[in-house]
Amino acid sequence: MSTVLDKAKSHMRDKISGGLKGPIAVPEWETEVWYKPATTFHQESKVIELQQAGKTVEALVQTLINRALDKDGKNIFRLADKQDLMRGVDPAVILRVIQDMNDEDDYDGDNLEEVALKN
Greater confidence (93 vs 16) lies with 93
Coil, strand, or helix at residue 89? Answer: coil
pLDDT 10s digits, 34-90: 998 888 888 889 999 999 999 999 999 999 999 999 999 999 999 999 999 999 999
The answer on pLDDT for 101 being more than 80 is yes
The stretch 98-116 carries a mean pLDDT of 63
pTM score of the predicted model? 0.78
Residue 45 — left, alpha, or beta (φ > 0 → left; ψ -120 to 50 → alpha)? alpha
Angstrom distance (rounded) from CA 78 to CA 69: 11
Give all domains of the chain, ordered by start, each with its CATH number.
Answer: 4-118 (3.30.2220.20)
Q: CA nearest 44: which of 63, 21, 64, 60?
A: 63
